[in-house]
A and B are shown apart, each in its own frame.
Chain A
Amino acid sequence: MKRQTNGSRPVKLFLAVMGDEKRQNISIPLFAICLSLIAGALLMVLLGKNPVDGYRSLLQGCGMLMKEKYAGGKGMLTDFMSYLDIWTPMIFASLAVAVAYKAGLFNIGVSGQMLLGGFIASVTVGYSDLPGIVAKPLVILVCVVAGALAGSLIGLLKYKFNINEVVSAIMLNYIFQYVISFFILTFFVNPITRQSESVGENARLTLQNVEIGGMKTVVPLGFVLALGAVAVTHYFIHHTRTGFELKAVGANPKAAVYAGINVKKNIMLAMALSGALSGLAGATYYLGYLSSIQPKTLVSTGFDAIAVCLLGNSNPVGILAASFLITIITKGGMYMNSSIGVPQEVSSLITGLMLLFAACGVYIRARLARAADRQKQEEKSMASAEDGSAPGQQAAEQTRQEEVQR
């Protein structure tokens, strides 16, 4: 009897750590993160690097730990602010994926919608000489509208023509990418950089070269907006009627129809909202973090956002945490490469593994449930055995009788 308890102790411990179903929303992603960080550490060891140094340099690159030395006029704040600058579009993009996912839709076109918004805003507002106080809100407005239109087009194709949203989004991604590349190369190209002409400082959502405490740094205005978007999205999904309808459509469209919910309207709404958030991501990326658009490329942000959403359980707060982490790995990867020579591919590999383990979440959850069941049964039988073994024997007797009857 005693040996049995000993044998299941690691299982018990693991179950206790992972917690009940509610806690598993957090503990399973954390488990995935730990596994991938361990895998990353092993990889660094194989490459002959010290993993502690590696992970430290990731944080240093993002301004969360002191570097050994800084160039003149730069400091930890500089790094941290530029980290916020690149984190901002990631938050928006992941929220975009999450809103669509709540309605059971998979918006893989975030990158395309970002590009569309960014391009239209650059061309219309970015090259104008409106005063900053008008231009900046206008950029946001243009991006939101452009993104929302692109998103609802996917929604329209979905409910009107029954075209899978993943397919139409991929098609639109390519169409946007190439058509915009054509316009950039024909009309707006900068002959030296081979990218689009830079937008004016008046329209840019990230202030450049601001001096704070003697250090020159960027100030990403969009970050405040992103935090606001997290709060609003959270409130919308969890505390409004429309948000509830959206979730109902995502959870079971047929049941939603019986409940009198307009599925078509909700599909359109979810895609429009998702597109609008992608547009915001585009605004903060192309007219904030960057100031120009590289032709023929879609940013990976929109695809990484799927990962972030998955890791954050498509919950806005979870997404905030997950995007925080993934951005550290992607941005810090550059510094990890330059400071201790770990190739940058290692950081993308860690992200990839994180996704892989996170995708196993359903399986882990099922296994945990099964293990917990078994644990309970074992305890029960053990308890009954200690009681005098009568109920256990009775049960065994009963099953034997049933078998005989069959």
Chain B
Amino acid sequence: MTDIIVNGMSFALPLFIIAVGGIFSERSGVTNLALEGFLGAGAFIGALFVVLTSGWFSPGSQVPMYLAMVFAMIGGALYAVIHAVLCIKFKANQVISGVVVNILAIALTDFLTSQVNAGIFGQSSDKFVMTVSGRLTFQPLANIPVIGGFFTNVYPFEFIIIIVAMISWYVMYRSRFGLRLRACGDNPYAVDAAGCNVGRLQFAAVMISGALSGLGGMCFAYSVFGNYSVSIYTGYGYLAIAAMIFGNWKIPFTLGACLLFGFARAAGYWLIQLMGLPGAYSDLIMTLPYVLTLLLLIFFSKNNRAPRALGEIYDKGKR
């Protein structure tokens, strides 16, 4: 039981923050299939920072990890500019732009990773080796049955994610910026009439989306992979999109969806281990989140309401 909670949480939370990134972009009316590219590009910048500065910190220090997360957010936000420019300034088809941004991210980071490795470290390798993040256990709390699992072997980044998610929630639902942002997704013309710059709002939303995805990607690099390589593009970005849609483009529901994915996955792995099934069965477990999403979408799609102006290219002169 504890294992399921530990593994479930450490998978669900990074996924959640990526999905929150998606919510920011989509609630502002910009379709975002580029989460996959954002998280990879962000994690690349973070990992690049780690390997470049590896001499600066004493071994075993956790400081580079936190700095890497900051850099991953910056990197993700900067990379997101491509999507923002394509969608908002160049008025390209947002779905196509998302796909292009993903393809470009894979090509670009793959190329740069091997170039940096060859140029600076003189070795031919396609990955940046990093440590796996340390884990914390809170002793008195961890002994509580069942709930104790939430306090055992916790990655430090889980707290960062929770804090960032809370800030995001506040910005989205309690600030003027958030109100306008959500209005952009439903009726950009009204926002324009109210005297706001729709393009600028959407631009900011897409960049926030990139920053949060970068953070999520960095967390995956520090937990699931333990290094940075192209293998980070395993589709977690798309899974986050599924969680977002399943969560009806709302932050609290999306958290629920991510927890469901995480726990379903962890429970599946646990079950396989318990029954001593061969490794191939884990492939079936991997399909769980996707099958769940599809089924639940079929049942709940009536209640599902995408932002009304999602994917529409905002044209001031149209109306």
Contacts and interface: CB of A to CB of B under 8 A. Distances in A.
A166 B93 CA distance: 14
A106 interface: yes
B287 A178 contact: yes
Contacts of B86: 356, 359-360
B95 interface: yes
Given A181-B283, A356-B82, A362-B90, A167 B104 contact: no
Contacts of A358: 100
A263 interface: no
Contact of B92 (A181, A306, A362): A362
Contact of A162 (B106, B238, B278, B301): B301
Interface in A150-199: 157, 161-164, 166-168, 170-172, 174-175, 178-179, 181-182, 185-186
A296 interface: yes
A108 B104 contact: no
Given A157-B298, A171-B290, A348-B107, A359 B242 contact: no
B236 to A, nearest CB: 11
Interface string B125-143: 0000000000000000000
B94 to A, nearest CB: 10
Interface string B285-302: 011001101100110011
Contacts of A108: 99
Given A296-B283, A352-B107, A362-B92, A306 B99 contact: yes
Contact of B100 (A157, A172, A178, A355): A355
A172 B291 CA distance: 8
Nearest to B238: A170
Interface stretch (B5-13, B54-62, B108-116, B150-158): B108-116
A181 B286 CA distance: 11
Nearest to B99: A306
A181 B235 CA distance: 16
A174 B99 contact: no
Interface residues of B, number: 45
A348 B105 CA distance: 11
Contact of B280 (A181, A304, A351): A181
Given A174-B287, A306-B96, A352-B104, A345 B114 contact: yes
Contacts of B107: 345, 348-349, 351-352
- Grouping DSSP codes into helix (H, G, I), strand (E, B) and loop, the B interface class, with mixed when no group exceeds half, is helix
A366 interface: yes
Contacts of B200: none
Nearest to A157: B298
A360 B297 CA distance: 33
Interface residues of A, number: 45
A357 to B, nearest CB: 10
Contacts of A186: 278, 280
Nearest to B311: A164
Contact of B91 (A179, A296, A362): A362
B266 interface: no
A296 to B, nearest CB: 7
A98 interface: no
Contact of A362 (B93, B110, B245, B279): B93
A303 B280 contact: no
B114 A343 contact: yes
Contacts of A345: 107, 110-111, 114
A99 interface: no
Given A164-B306, A351-B107, 14 more contacts: A161-B297, A163-B301, A167-B293, A172-B290, A178-B283, A179-B283, A182-B284, A343-B115, A352-B106, A353-B104, A355-B104, A356-B86, A361-B92, A363-B92
Query: 6 smallest A-B Cβ distances: which pairs?
Result: A363-B90, A345-B111, A185-B280, A352-B104, A352-B107, A182-B283
7 contacts: A157-B297, A171-B293, A175-B291, A178-B286, A296-B283, A345-B111, A349-B108
